Amino acid sequence: MKSFKYSVAKEATGAVRAVSANPAAKFLAGGTNLVDLMKEYVERPSEVVDVSRLNLAQIRETSNGISIGALAKNSDTANHPLVRQNYPLLSMAILAGASAQLRNMATNGGNLMQRTRCQYFYDTAMPCNKREPGSGCGALEGLNRIHAILGYSENCVATYPGDMANALYALDAIIRVRGTNGQDRTIAVQDFHRLPGDMPQKDNNLAHGELIVAIEIPRNNFAAKSYYLKVRDRASYAFALVSVAAALETRGDAIERARVVLGSVAHKPWRSTEAERVLVGKPATVATFEAAAEAALKDAKPLEHNGYKVELGKRSIVLALQRAMSGEVA
């Protein structure tokens, strides 16, 4: 780990100013990903601005939903009464990730900033365009069992590994950011993360120095019918092979609104509006869900070792939708 200047931020705008002024500066919140990557020499900041003590940890009801502080811990967020009651999908997604210890440390903002778990990204001896632009993609023709099947480019086949963000995509969250000019701006969550294209080094659309201050979720009617499914190589404390955030609102026999987000299949949480279109207006049956699953994966282009993700993704969508309906499915 490279030596760095450490400072504790007293207020958000000052923190933004400090990091903006130094291209090699980084914000530190929970540290669960950044500190690990610094030890691996993947991240090498010369300056670390600790934002963990900023007054940005509140979770409160707003006129049209909920506002969750960027620095609220994952565990506090998952267990907040408002979140558990009105946005259980978010609780479920957070609780599916990592371990109790990590969720006690990790913050919501930091979780959105989590970097890929691609083995080639982590190993500085290997080529990786995300870590070192121009060095090549080690995974493209290498070990890519855990890599992307959708939306990747020749430059990068990494996936976004998190769970919380998949729920946020399903819940139409808005990311509130303190800009480098000191003013807040908002980003719809689906515009937050990027596909790799020819700039895989850029995970998201934040400018250097911009700080996430809050996550806002509008009110919705998904609470009664939502489910987060995570399929992994072991029962807990592992990243997903495939995950699904599913949410439904029904009226009578018909689906009125639907959200289907796939995790660990692309460089960002993969919201399938194609699947959602198939679902809306139809009865909540297994046949409907299967049609939606086909639609979600129809453009999937698996790599050498991850062909299973296509089938697994489809089956996981069906299962998650069934669970969202709590088994009330024909």
Partner 1 sequence: MDDNQEQQDFDSAEDGSQLSADEERLLDELGLFGVTRREFLGQSTAAVLGTFAFQLLAREEALAALPTAPGAAMAPTPRLENAVRVLLKINGAPQRLEVDSRMALLDLLRERVGLTGTKKGCDQGQCGACTVMVDGRRVLSCLTLAASCEGKDVTTIEGLAKGDQLHPMQAAFIKHDGFQCGYCTPGQICSAVALLQEARNGEASHVTADVRARNRNINLTEEEIKERMSGNICRCGAYPGIVAAIKEVQSGTRTAQTWEFASDERIALAMNPDGKVEVRANEIV
Partner 2 sequence: MARYIGKEMSRVDGFAKVTGRAKYAAEFKVPNLAYGFIVTSTIGKGTIRSIDTAEASRAPGVIQVLTHENYPKPAPPAAPELKPEENRNVRDRSFRALQSEQIFFNMQPIALVLAESFEQARYAARLVKATYNEEKPMTDLESSLDKARLANPSRPPRPRGNPTEALAAAPVKVEAEYTIPIEHHNPMEPHGAIAFWEGDKLTVFDKTQGVRVVQQHLATSFHIPQANIQVISPFVGGAFGSALRPNYYPALTAMAARVIKRPVKVVYTRQQMFTGHGYRPHTWQKISLGAQADGKLTALIHDSRNNSSNFEDYVENTTGMPRSLYACPNALTSQQFVHTDLSTPAAMRAPGAVSGMFALECAMDELAYALKIDPLELRLVNFSDVDPDSGKPYSSKALRECYRLGAEKFGWKNRTPEPRSMRDGRLLVGWGMATGIWGAFQRPASARVALRVDGTAHVSSATADIGPGTYTVMTLIAAEYLGLPAERVKFELGDTRFPPAPVQGGSFTTASVGSAIYEAAQNIRGRLVELANKEAASPFKTAKIEDTELLDGRLTLRGSSQSVDIFALMRRNNLSELVDVHEAKPSPEREKYATGAHGAQFVEVKVDPATGVVQVTRAIEVTACGKIMNPKTSHSQEIGGVVWGIGMALQEATEVDHRYGRIMNPNLQHYHVPVSADIHEIETMFVEEDDKVVNPLGVKGMGELGMVGIPAAIANAVFHATGKRIRDLPITPDKLL
Residues found near partner 2 in the complex (CB under 8 A): 1-3, 39, 41, 117, 119-120, 122-123, 125-126, 138, 141-143, 145-146, 231, 233-239, 241, 308-309, 311-312, 315-316, 318-319
| Total site size for partner 1, rule CB under 8 A | 43
CA–CA separation, 208 vs 187, rounded Å?
15
Nearest distance in Å: CB 146, partner 1: 15
What is the Rg, in whole angstroms, of the alpha carbon atoms belonging to the chain? Answer: 19
Q: Report DSSP letters for 1-65, one per residue.
A: ----EEEE-SSHHHHHHHHHT-TTEEEESS-TTHHHHHHTTS---SEEEE-TTSS---EEEETTE
62 backbone dihedrals φ, ψ, rounded to 5°? -120, 175
102 binds partner 1 (CB under 8 A): yes
Nearest distance in Å: CB 26, partner 2: 17
* Amino acid residing at 10: K
The β-bridge partners of 217 are 66
For partner 1, the closer of residues 231 and 293 by Cβ is 231
Which partner in partner 2, partner 1, none is near 52 (CB below 5 to 8 A by kind)?
partner 1
The SS3 of residue 103 is helix
Which partner in partner 2, partner 1, none is near 31 (CB below 5 to 8 A by kind)?
partner 1
Query: Of 124, 186, 205, 236, which lies in the binding site for partner 1, with binding defined by CB under 8 A?
Result: 236
For partner 2, the closer of residues 16 and 158 by Cβ is 158
Question: Which runs of E-coded beta strand occur in 169-296?
Answer: 174-178, 184-188, 211-218, 226-232, 240-251, 254-263, 270-271
For partner 2, the closer of residues 17 and 145 by Cβ is 145
Which partner in partner 1, partner 2, none is near 82 (CB below 5 to 8 A by kind)?
none
Residue 188 neighbours by CB distance under 10 Å: 11
Per-residue tokens: 68? 């969750």
Query: Of 195, 223, 291, 319, which lies in the binding site for partner 1, with binding defined by CB under 8 A?
Result: 223
CA–CA separation, 63 vs 80, rounded Å?
18
6 binds partner 1 (CB under 8 A): yes
Q: For helices 286-297 and 308-324, what crossing angle results, to 10°? A: 140
Query: Of 48, 150, 241, 266, which lies in the binding site for partner 1, with binding defined by CB under 8 A?
Result: 48
Nearest distance in Å: CB 143, partner 1: 18
Which partner in partner 1, partner 2, none is near 41 (CB below 5 to 8 A by kind)?
partner 2
Is 54 exposed, middle or buried (CB count within 10 Å of its CB: 0-12, 13-18, 19+)? buried
Nearest distance in Å: CB 194, partner 1: 25
The SS3 of residue 118 is coil
CA–CA separation, 150 vs 65, rounded Å?
32
CB 95 within 8 A of CB 229: no
Which partner in partner 1, partner 2, none is near 190 (CB below 5 to 8 A by kind)?
none
Nearest distance in Å: CB 328, partner 2: 15
**Cα distance between the two ends of the chain:** 56
CB 249 within 8 A of CB 221: yes
Nearest distance in Å: CB 41, partner 2: 5
For partner 1, the closer of residues 2 and 185 by Cβ is 2
Stretch that binds partner 1, among 92-100, 169-177, 213-221, 262-270 (CB under 8 A): 92-100
Can you give the binding site for partner 1, defined by CB under 8 A?
Answer: 1-6, 8, 28, 30-32, 35-36, 38-40, 48, 50, 52-53, 55, 75, 78-79, 81, 84-85, 88, 91-92, 95-96, 98-102, 104-105, 223, 235-237
